[in-house]
């Protein structure tokens, strides 16, 4: 195979809409490695639409990987319009690891039935920075060992469904940052990377076939972000991982602002990455075809000018091809004999754990809400879905939620982290009358108030809110 013909096989682009565009069809015919689906590719009115779309992709190239961010909680593509019905990692961090494994099975079966074979989950980040603007409830918690047990359990659950591969992220750990790599370039010291290593080590030991890099700088490893840093990726290989190294999206500011999307993709491959995620074309009106062409041109140029060694490109291509062939072969023999619903006993265990972590007075106060204030400004922490089901559920309890606190009613302040803006909104609400915080971020959250701990803004969490309010408390 000509070197330039290898380039499509190491790329994971997105595209707009629920049908395969012509440019993507042409690249599939050229050997495209994978396609990443986002919420805009999912037809909410057609439960089978995503599976039909995936089948249309594979009708052109059967061994193409079809990937999606489907973490549960605040990050979902399949349920992006309304919010996830799966528990979040933060919620699973409050219960036994075997619950995480069973939820991993449910997650894997859901994506399998939707035609997805590479699920970009779970997050192995240790969220020990309350000000983290991008991880929060996407993490199983702040204790590396507890996170590790649940990451390994989730990987085992996903691996139990033949034809579905997990991709653990964001190596070497995005949990102790106060910068969102979508918008800037975070930095962590090597000591933090070492402290956060256990969950990734547990995932590798559990057989995870793919690891996603974080766009963060570890100064002791060099000045470049991990994704484009050969010394960093060599450390991942030295840790025993020989699977597919997937980049986080190269359209994120942490990469694109310095290297450009094409330049970042070429540098990532040269550094040791195998599959380059281009990003979400739904954001900012991106021309997905033009973006893809820019990346291809940059990689081809890097091969010709010697910045990307031919053997490195071939190695990356072969790793992706092996993963795709393995999922393709297993997919055809996977029986559809597993539920796609969370076990009621597991859901109840999570509800009990959330109640135990909450202030009883705040839970009881759900029945007296007359006003709802979303301190997040309407955006979720992960920015992966526009749905805000908890806030909507609270407004329903408050009869619209536009009133003011009274002697008999109170304000519910929805928050996901103790940022200056959110704490300011809370202070204003406290000054105006009685209020509670409904925390949809990491638990416990760090709020100086009576708190209802939910651990995600999701349909799953909204159901718990309604149940507690109906009972006048837990």
- The residues annotated as belonging to the active site are 182, 248
> Are the CB atoms for 470 and 370 separated by under 8 Å?
no
CA-to-CA dists, residue 55 to 12, 51, 272, 316, 386, angstroms? 17, 6, 31, 25, 27
Angstrom distance (rounded) from CA 10 to CA 82: 33
Say how many C-beta atoms besides its own lie within 10 A of residue 337's C-beta.
Answer: 6
The two tokens of residue 74 are: 């605040």
> Are the CB atoms for 410 and 433 separated by under 8 Å?
yes
Query: CA angle 21-35-68, nearest 5°?
Result: 120
Beta carbons within 8 Å of 368's beta carbon, 6+ residues apart:
408, 409, 410
The greatest distance separating any two alpha carbons of the chain, rounded to the nearest whole angstrom, comes to 75
Angstrom distance (rounded) from CA 160 to CA 304: 43
HSE, CB side, 13 Å, CA atoms: give it for residue 204.
19
> Are the CB atoms for 398 and 372 separated by under 8 Å?
yes
Task: State whether the Cα torsion 84-90-91-95 is positive or negative.
Answer: positive
Q: Is 185 helix (H, G, I), strand (E, B) or coil?
A: coil
> Are the CB atoms for 215 and 177 separated by under 8 Å?
no
């Amino acid at each position: 195979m000509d070197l330039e013909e290898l380039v499509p096989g190491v790329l994971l682009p997105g595209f707009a809409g629920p049908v395969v565009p012509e440019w993507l069809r042409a690249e599939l015919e050229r050997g495209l490695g994978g396609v990443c689906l986002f919420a805009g590719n999912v037809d909410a009115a057609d439960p089978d639409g995503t599976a039909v779309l995936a089948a249309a992709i594979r009708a052109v190239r059967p061994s193409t990987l079809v990937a999606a961010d489907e973490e549960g909680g605040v990050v979902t593509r399949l349920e992006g319009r309304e919010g996830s019905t799966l528990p979040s990692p933060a919620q699973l961090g409050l219960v036994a690891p075997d619950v995480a494994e069973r939820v991993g099975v449910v997650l894997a079966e859901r994506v399998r039935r939707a035609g997805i074979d590479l699920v970009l989950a779970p997050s192995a980040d240790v969220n020990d920075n309350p000000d983290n603007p991008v991880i929060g409830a996407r993490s199983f918690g702040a204790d590396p060992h507890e996170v590790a047990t649940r990451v390994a359990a989730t990987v085992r659950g996903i691996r139990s469904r033949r034809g579905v591969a997990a991709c653990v992220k964001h190596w070497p750990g995005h949990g102790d940052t106060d910068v969102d790599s979508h918008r800037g370039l975070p930095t962590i010291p090597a000591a933090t990377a070492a402290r956060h290593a256990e969950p990734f080590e547990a995932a590798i030991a559990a057989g995870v076939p793919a690891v996603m890099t974080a766009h963060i700088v570890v100064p002791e490893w060099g000045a470049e972000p991990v994704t484009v840093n050969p010394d960093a990726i060599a450390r991942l290989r030295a840790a025993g991982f020989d699977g597919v190294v997937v980049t986080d999206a190269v359209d994120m500011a942490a990469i694109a602002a310095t290297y450009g999307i094409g330049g970042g993709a070429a540098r990532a491959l040269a550094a040791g990455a195998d599959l380059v995620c281009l990003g979400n074309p739904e954001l900012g009106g991106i021309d997905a075809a033009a973006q893809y062409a820019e990346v291809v041109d940059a990689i081809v140029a890097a091969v010709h000018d010697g910045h990307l060694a031919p053997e490195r490109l071939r190695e990356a291509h072969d790793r992706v091809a092996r993963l795709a062939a393995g999922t393709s072969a297993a997919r055809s023999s996977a029986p559809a004999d597993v539920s796609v619903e969370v076990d009621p006993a597991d859901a109840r265990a999570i509800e009990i754990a959330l109640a135990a972590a909450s202030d009883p007075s705040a839970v009881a106060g759900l029945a007296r809400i007359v006003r709802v204030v979303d301190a997040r400004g309407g955006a979720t922490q992960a920015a992966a879905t526009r749905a805000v089901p908890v806030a909507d559920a609270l407004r329903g309890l408050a009869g619209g939620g536009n009133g003011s606190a009274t002697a008999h009613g109170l304000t519910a302040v929805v928050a996901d982290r103790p940022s200056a803006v959110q704490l300011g909104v809370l202070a204003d609400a406290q000054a105006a009358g009685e209020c509670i915080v409904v925390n949809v971020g990491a638990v416990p959250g760090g709020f100086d108030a009576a708190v209802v701990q939910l651990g995600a803004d999701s349909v799953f969490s909204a159901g718990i809110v309604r149940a507690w309010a109906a009972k006048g408390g837990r």
